[in-house]
Amino acid sequence: MKIYLKIWRQENHNSPGKFKAYELDGVSSDMSFLEMLDMLNFQLIKSGEIPVEFDHDCREGICGQCGMMINGIAHGPLKNTTTCQLHMRSFTDGETIYLEPFRSTAFPIIRDLKIDRSALDQIIAAGGYISVDTGQAPEANSIPVTYQEAEDAFDAAACIGCGACVATCKNASAALFTSAKIGHFVHLPQGQKETAQRVVNLVNEMEKLGFGHCTNTEACQVECPQDISVLNIARMNYEYNKAKVLIKSRN
């Protein structure tokens, strides 16, 4: 396959960027998308040029670091797929592919396609600790967690924090990410004592970091590689309003 690439190149957050064209021949349809970029970078290094910087780690669809916009779509054309799990057979011979970083005020560009996602870590950190009884493990059937509650908690916990929801949202909202972190614990007995304050802290931190507001377009779920449900956002809003009333009554 011959592939034409137009890649966003930017030296750092404060410098201007632009698309730069590259031509890559001999691309195998069995290559992963990141292997194709590795091939490009190998050629650039051989010719003395600066390679294209992009995030990646596990390359197994687990860590969420590889996210980028591919032809205007977060993680590319396949539904519920991370960039590292995308293969070149999803493209055609002679196709032009546009690559650019996830864009958000809260995601400053480090270089080229590499962005700073630490704002998502700050949201998680704002949630604080959870209270868990220690000592001898209780008998499993005595833990009051229904099958559906456990499934809902697990579905929320599946969020890998890639930031695709933010990048694809017209408001750059982190509501799906934040609601997934809230939904992970709200269904389980662990940490229930801190639920009200945790919800308020997470939502307040999200807003402080400059993420936009959710306007229910549901584009976030469409582009989420883990198909995290927007019902988590509804649950977050419910929990937030309930927490505000509860905290006010305590004061």
Q: pLDDT (tens digit, 9 = 90+) per residue, 53-106?
A: 999 999 999 999 999 999 999 999 999 999 999 999 999 999 999 999 999 999
Indicate the pTM of the whole model: 0.90
Q: Contacts by 23-32 with C-beta closer than 8 Å and gap 24+?
A: 26/1, 26/2, 27/1, 27/2, 27/3, 27/88, 28/1, 28/88, 29/1, 29/87, 29/88, 29/89, 30/87, 30/88, 30/89, 31/87, 31/88, 32/59, 32/84, 32/85, 32/86, 32/87, 32/88
Q: Kindly give the pairing relationship between strand 96-100 and strand 69-70.
A: antiparallel
Confidence of residue 135 (pLDDT cuts 50, 70, 90): confident
Q: Is the pLDDT of residue 180 over 80?
A: yes
Predicted confidence at residue 147, as pLDDT, reads: 86
Q: Is the pLDDT of residue 141 over 80?
A: no
Q: What percent of the chain has pLDDT over 70?
A: 98
Q: Is the pLDDT of residue 139 over 80?
A: no
What tokens appear for 115 in the block?
């962005």
Give bridge partners of residue 97 from the DSSP assignment: 5
Q: Is the pLDDT of residue 132 over 80?
A: no
Predicted confidence at residue 19, as pLDDT, reads: 98
Predicted confidence at residue 140, as pLDDT, reads: 62
Predicted confidence at residue 90, as pLDDT, reads: 97
Chain-centroid distance of CA 140 in Å reads 33
Confidence of residue 8 (pLDDT cuts 50, 70, 90): very high
DSSP annotation of 87: B
Confidence of residue 193 (pLDDT cuts 50, 70, 90): confident
